[in-house]
Amino acid sequence: MIRHTVVFALKHAKDSAEEAKFLEDAKVLIEIPGVEKFEQLRQVSAKNDYDFGFSMEFADQATYDAYNAHPKHVAFVEGRWIPEVDRFMEIDYVAL
Residues of the shown chain interacting with its own copies in the complex, contacts defined by CB under 8 A: 2-3, 7, 23, 39-45, 47-48, 50, 52-53, 55, 89-96
Q: Which is nearer to its own copies, 55 or 76 (CB)?
A: 55
Instruction: Report the nearest approach of its own copies to the CB of residue 95 (Å).
Output: 7
Under DSSP, the state recorded for 1 is -
Q: Which is nearer to its own copies, 32 or 57 (CB)?
A: 57
Instruction: Report the nearest approach of its own copies to the CB of residue 50 (Å).
Output: 7
Give me the torsion for CA of 52, 88, 79, 30, rounded to 10°: -50
Q: How far, in Å, CA of 52 to CA of 57, rounded?
A: 17
Q: How far, in Å, CA of 73 to CA of 4, rounded?
A: 14
Q: How far, in Å, CA of 71 to CA of 63, rounded?
A: 14
Q: Which is nearer to its own copies, 3 or 80 (CB)?
A: 3
Q: How far, in Å, CA of 96 to CA of 93, rounded?
A: 9
Instruction: Report the nearest approach of its own copies to the CB of residue 14 (Å).
Output: 13
Instruction: Report the nearest approach of its own copies to the CB of residue 46 (Å).
Output: 9
